[in-house]
């Protein structure tokens, strides 16, 4: 995003703002908008400008901004109890865990471990998998993203990090399918699936399947490419994990809570993992909330063994109260299915943009979770910016800046622009966003 757009001049930036280290940014010269309020599909800056939230923040505010039922639940919980130790039972924690178990992708149900966000939850999936299997290694995909903690960074399969710190030991990389840019030189989706699964077997033969505790994947790749895997791939991973006693972990931090048209991508895609991490949409990000759903047959291990995982704020009662209220809204308002309707709007609208703009090489996604892959050339599929080049590169900076000038917030990584609106968005609001995308792509192509 071009942070100069509609921001403050350097002379106007209050000194207090400089006391905040802004994530993922060079601090000198920053002057983004000052966001002061939000409602529904929009947020507003201190100058009164309105922005359509076409990305649900960071694919997080799935209920839109300020849903009154969640706000009221937070107020009521704050009046009753704001915090209690994670080692104690609590009625709200229990009610939410029971409700989550009912929508889990396992007939046997699940137990819930709470965390404060997605990266922390992903760290904990690895701890749980290693405790259960007593194996040291974890496999994760290139072109993946699993968070910015030390563990999440180690699991993440792209060169996003510039820190000098070593990652956690035992992480093994593999290539996952990417039909638009096949790492296996496949010509068909079926061939892509077959070769990708052969690749997994090959890696396991060298690492020793008996040493691998878990394979962790995003069932739909998020900010590192928004890749929808070809049919049969996730089911094939499930078979491989079953064969070797490896736990399959789905990172559903982005895809969970209706984002792809069902409570979880595991349900829509028909493949059940052993562990499932969640965050973001769980509370519509009104409070920091994440966690791990552990299928009952795996969780039962800890009935006789120490569950040596936990945090001071695990199951923070304000966060869990927001999650419980959000879950009720998803269910009462039919929002777990709403993304299927939005999917139709996006396939049609983004498909039209692809037809009109040569810079749009590919459109892909599920539910309210789509990406535009921008290219220099349709035939060669040369990326608009190199994969290793920061998203703040000039072409992408120009594109996101033009969207902001037109009152639309979007974001992405590398040459992928993500379109993931709130599940509550109206058709007219989405059309407003599509019009802005059309205009921004026109400006981008003129500049190129």
How many domains does the chain contain in total?
Answer: 2
Please tell me whether residues 42 and 86 are part of one structural domain. Answer: no
Predicted confidence band of residue 101 (pLDDT cuts 50, 70, 90):
very high
Residue range 147-160: mean pLDDT, rounded: 85
Residue 249 lies inside a defined structural domain of this protein: yes
Residue 158 lies inside a defined structural domain of this protein: yes
The lowest-confidence range among 83-87, 193-197, 292-296 is: 83-87
Rounded to 5°, the CA angle 115-116-119 comes to 85
Predicted confidence band of residue 22 (pLDDT cuts 50, 70, 90):
confident
Residue 16 lies inside a defined structural domain of this protein: yes
- Element of type H or E holding 36: strand 35-39
Please tell me whether residues 33 and 83 are part of one structural domain. Answer: no
Residue 277 lies inside a defined structural domain of this protein: yes
Which of 283, 300, 332 is a domain's end point? 332
CATH code for the domain in which residue 342 is found: 3.90.1150.10
Which of 302, 332, 362 is a domain's end point? 332
Predicted confidence band of residue 292 (pLDDT cuts 50, 70, 90):
very high
Structural domain of 111: 68-332
Please tell me whether residues 318 and 410 are part of one structural domain. Answer: no
- For residue range 307-319, what is the model confidence (pLDDT) as tens digits? 999 999 999 999 9
Distance between CA 158 and CA 441 in Å, rounded?
26
Residue range 92-100: mean pLDDT, rounded: 98
Residue 65: partners with Cβ closer than 8 Å, 6 or more residues away:
38, 39, 40, 41, 42, 43, 53, 422
Residue 63 lies inside a defined structural domain of this protein: no
Please tell me whether residues 24 and 86 are part of one structural domain. Answer: no
Residue range 79-89: mean pLDDT, rounded: 95
Q: In this predicted structure, what is the pLDDT of residue 6?
A: 47
Residue 8 has pLDDT above 70, yes or no: no
Average per-residue pLDDT in the chain? Answer: 93
Please tell me whether residues 277 and 163 are part of one structural domain. Answer: yes
Measuring CA to CA, how many Å separate 189 from each of 104, 332, 361, 383?
29, 37, 18, 21
Check residue 396 and give left, alpha or beta (phi > 0: left; psi -120 to 50: alpha).
alpha
Please tell me whether residues 80 and 180 are part of one structural domain. Answer: yes
- Residue 310 buriedness (CB in 10 A; 0-12 / 13-18 / 19+): middle
Please tell me whether residues 200 and 313 are part of one structural domain. Answer: yes
Please tell me whether residues 98 and 242 are part of one structural domain. Answer: yes
- For residue range 166-220, what is the model confidence (pLDDT) as tens digits? 678 999 999 999 999 999 999 999 999 999 999 999 999 999 999 999 999 999 9
Residue 2 lies inside a defined structural domain of this protein: no
Predicted confidence band of residue 21 (pLDDT cuts 50, 70, 90):
confident
Which of 309, 332, 355 is a domain's end point? 332
Please tell me whether residues 359 and 406 are part of one structural domain. Answer: yes
Predicted confidence band of residue 158 (pLDDT cuts 50, 70, 90):
confident
Please tell me whether residues 144 and 210 are part of one structural domain. Answer: yes
Residue 371 has pLDDT above 90, yes or no: yes
Predicted confidence band of residue 3 (pLDDT cuts 50, 70, 90):
very low
Residue 321 lies inside a defined structural domain of this protein: yes
Check residue 40 and give left, alpha or beta (phi > 0: left; psi -120 to 50: alpha).
left
Residue range 343-355: mean pLDDT, rounded: 97
Q: In this predicted structure, what is the pLDDT of residue 25?
A: 79
CATH code for the domain in which residue 141 is found: 3.40.640.10
Please tell me whether residues 110 and 244 are part of one structural domain. Answer: yes
pLDDT > 90: what percent of the chain? 81
Residue 15 has pLDDT above 90, yes or no: no
Q: In this predicted structure, what is the pLDDT of residue 178?
A: 96
Residue 242 has pLDDT above 70, yes or no: yes
- For residue range 381-423, what is the model confidence (pLDDT) as tens digits? 999 988 766 555 688 989 999 999 999 999 888 899 999 999 9
Predicted confidence band of residue 7 (pLDDT cuts 50, 70, 90):
low
Residue 2 has pLDDT above 50, yes or no: no
Residue 59 lies inside a defined structural domain of this protein: no
Q: In this predicted structure, what is the pLDDT of residue 5?
A: 44
Please tell me whether residues 89 and 175 are part of one structural domain. Answer: yes
């Amino acid at each position: 995003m071009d942070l100069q757009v509609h921001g403050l001049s350097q002379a106007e930036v209050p000194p207090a703002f400089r006391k905040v280290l802004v994530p993922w940014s060079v601090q000198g010269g920053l002057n983004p908008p000052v966001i002061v309020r939000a409602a529904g599909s929009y947020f507003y800056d201190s100058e009164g400008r309105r922005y359509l939230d076409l990305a649900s923040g960071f694919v997080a505010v799935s209920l839109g901004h300020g849903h009154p039922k969640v706000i009221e639940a937070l107020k009521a919980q704050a009046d009753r109890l704001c915090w209690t130790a994670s080692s104690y039972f609590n009625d709200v924690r229990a009610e939410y865990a029971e409700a989550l178990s009912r929508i889990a992708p396992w007939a046997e149900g699940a137990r819930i471990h709470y965390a404060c966000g997605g990266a922390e939850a992903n760290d904990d999936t690895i701890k749980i998998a290693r405790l259960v299997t007593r194996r040291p290694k974890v496999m994760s995909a290139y072109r993946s993203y699993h968070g910015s903690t030390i563990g999440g960074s180690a699991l993440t399969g792209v060169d996003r990090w510039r820190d000098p710190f070593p990652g956690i030991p035992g992480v093994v990389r593999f290539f996952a399918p990417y039909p638009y840019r096949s790492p296996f030189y496949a010509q068909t989706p079926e061939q892509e699936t077959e070769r990708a699964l052969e690749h997994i077997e090959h890696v396991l033969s060298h690492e020793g399947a008996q040493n691998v505790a878990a394979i962790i994947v995003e069932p739909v790749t998020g900010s590192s490419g928004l890749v929808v895997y070809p049919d049969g791939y996730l089911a094939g991973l499930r078979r491989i994990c079953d064969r070797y006693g490896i736990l399959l972990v789905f990172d559903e931090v982005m895809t969970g809570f209706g984002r792809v048209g069902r409570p979880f991508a595991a349900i829509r895609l028909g493949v059940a993992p052993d562990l499932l991490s969640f965050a973001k949409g769980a509370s519509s990000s009104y409070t920091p909330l994440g966690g791990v759903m552990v299928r009952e047959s795996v969780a039962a291990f800890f009935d006789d063994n120490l569950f040596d995982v936990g945090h001071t704020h695990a199951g923070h009662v304000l966060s869990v109260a927001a999650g419980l209220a959000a879950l009720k809204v998803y269910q009462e308002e039919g929002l777990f299915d709403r993304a299927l309707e939005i999917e139709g709007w996006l396939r049609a609208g983004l498909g039209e943009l692809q037809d009109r703009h040569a810079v749009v090489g590919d459109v892909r996604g599920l539910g309210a979770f789509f990406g535009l892959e921008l290219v220099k050339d349709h035939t060669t599929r040369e990326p608009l910016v190199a994969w290793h080049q920061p998203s703040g590169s000039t072409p992408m900076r120009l594109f996101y800046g033009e969207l902001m000038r037109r009152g639309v917030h979007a974001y992405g990584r590398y040459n992928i622009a993500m379109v993931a609106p709130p599940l509550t968005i109206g058709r007219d609001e989405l059309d407003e966003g599509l019009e802005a995308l059309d205009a921004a792509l026109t400006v981008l192509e003129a500049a190129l």
